[in-house]
Amino acid sequence: MSAPTRESPGSSPAGGDAPAGGLRVALGLFQTTMAGVGIILGAGIYVLVGVAAGEAGNALWIAFILAAVVALLTGLSYAELASLYPVDAAEVTYVERSFGRRVAFFVAYLAILAQVLTAAVVAMGFAGYLARLLGSEETAAIALVACAFFTLINFIGISLAAWLNVAFTLLEAGGLVVIIAIGAPELGRVDLLELQGGLQGLAHTAALVFFAYVGFEGIVKLSEETADAARTIPRAIILSIIISTALYVAVGATAVSAMDWRALAASSAPLADVAAAALGSGAFALLAIIALFSTANTILLCLVAGSRTLYGMADRAPWLRIFGRVHRRTQTPTWAIVAIGLMTAPFVLVRDLALIVEYGNFGIFVLYMLVNAALVDLRFRLPEAPRRFRVPGSVGRVPVLPVLGILTCLALLLSLRLEVLIGGALYTLVGAIIALAATRTAPSSTTPAGPS
């Protein structure tokens, strides 16, 4: 059924079929950029815009800009580290080279949990739109079926997943353009600088909608399936954040102009309701269908990214080796894919969308702070290592933007609700215990500190 185990990271050729037991190299800049845009857009606008409008009111678009700044700071760190270590394990490898195996296992736990929670949240959004279309209330069952279906697509192969992503991303972007066109004539009708919850509410909304940018780091997990990954992946990260931010800001401003923010906050299918308010019930159906493709796209890409992270961990402990098995025909990591699908399923049964989002963001903020810290450390430890991309701006050897990335992530983390901070601290403690137990049984790493 499956090939023995994975080859060492970075061993795939620059193009063509992968060697026996490896992953197929089939992606270029266009596909990887579309992967980033696709996963970002699906989680952000089509699912969260209503919840976020309830927090920020007419200033929703400002919250997206604040979140984008934080995302870009960390995205630049990912870009440099991806050019240094173009491997699927991504942040796990970056942190391992800086802080050792225990912190790397902890980061893997956070990265996998982030992808699982994102997939669950977006599956709930998918179910909300489909249930409205069907006149059904079986949202949990719909979300579970969606997770199972896209787990199957993930298994079939990366080429199919990538081209489905391209098609879905173009469609979901088209839906956002429709919303922008609907709302543009209404610009000026409301005060877009009105802070419904004040500065504190705006900061909390920025922390909430930061979830909308989770996804750019998923591009890095396609490194072993991307041609010239050290050059392609950094460019795709930056492009995907810029494209997504432009759409987010435009949709945020036009949506609250076309429809009162209170009505947006109360909607289970917010953008479809914006279209219906302007163009009638037929427009609701059209936007709801586009939203289905958008959210489906993000579910698929989260499952791909999560399984590739687990695959990347397979050679780091004996009890993880099963997740490095690659199917001979599809050249996809079979058991890693199955595991991520099963892990996602229970979370779709939770009804509080905002709560899952905030818990997911807690782990993401901790993860991003560690990635930024790893870049700062590697600038000191490996100053001469070849990098195809380098974050601009340094004071001596200290890169300024990654330091700002750490501080801004910390600021957004501290703006989360107290119960989320307590719960997040508990689940990160669980991750730390797992990492400690795993590294006691894992063999000592012989990987050199420099890039492979």
The per-residue pLDDT for 7 is 40
The per-residue pLDDT for 399 is 93
Structure tokens at 33: 């950029």
DSSP code of residue 320: G
pTM value is 0.77
More confident residue, 135 or 15: 135
Instruction: Evaluate whether 157 touches 330 at the Cβ level (below 8 Å).
Output: yes
Query: What mean pLDDT is predicted for residues 400-414?
Result: 93
Percent of the chain residues topping a pLDDT of 90: 17
Provide the pLDDT confidence category of residue 449 given band limits of 50, 70 and 90.
Answer: very low
The per-residue pLDDT for 279 is 81
The per-residue pLDDT for 372 is 95
Query: What would the pLDDT profile of 126-174 be if each residue is shown by its tens digit?
Result: 888 898 888 888 888 898 998 899 888 878 766 666 666 677 778 878 8
Provide the pLDDT confidence category of residue 391 given band limits of 50, 70 and 90.
Answer: very high
Provide the pLDDT confidence category of residue 22 given band limits of 50, 70 and 90.
Answer: low
Instruction: Report helix angle 281-312 to 334-344, nearest 10.
Output: 130
Query: How many Å apart are CA 140 and CA 422, to the nearest integer?
Result: 27
The per-residue pLDDT for 61 is 92
Buried b (16+ CB within 10 A) or exposed e, 72-83: bbbbbbbbbbbb
Query: What mean pLDDT is predicted for residues 265-277?
Result: 84
The per-residue pLDDT for 15 is 35
Average of per-residue pLDDT values in the chain: 81
Provide the pLDDT confidence category of residue 402 given band limits of 50, 70 and 90.
Answer: very high
Instruction: Domain 29-382+390-441: give its CATH superfamily.
Output: Amino acid/polyamine transporter I (1.20.1740.10)
Query: What would the pLDDT profile of 50-81 be if each residue is shown by its tens digit?
Result: 888 888 889 999 999 999 999 999 999 998 99
Provide the pLDDT confidence category of residue 23 given band limits of 50, 70 and 90.
Answer: low
Least confident interval from 187-196, 312-321, 362-371: 312-321
Residue carrying structure tokens 């879905």 = 168
The per-residue pLDDT for 359 is 87
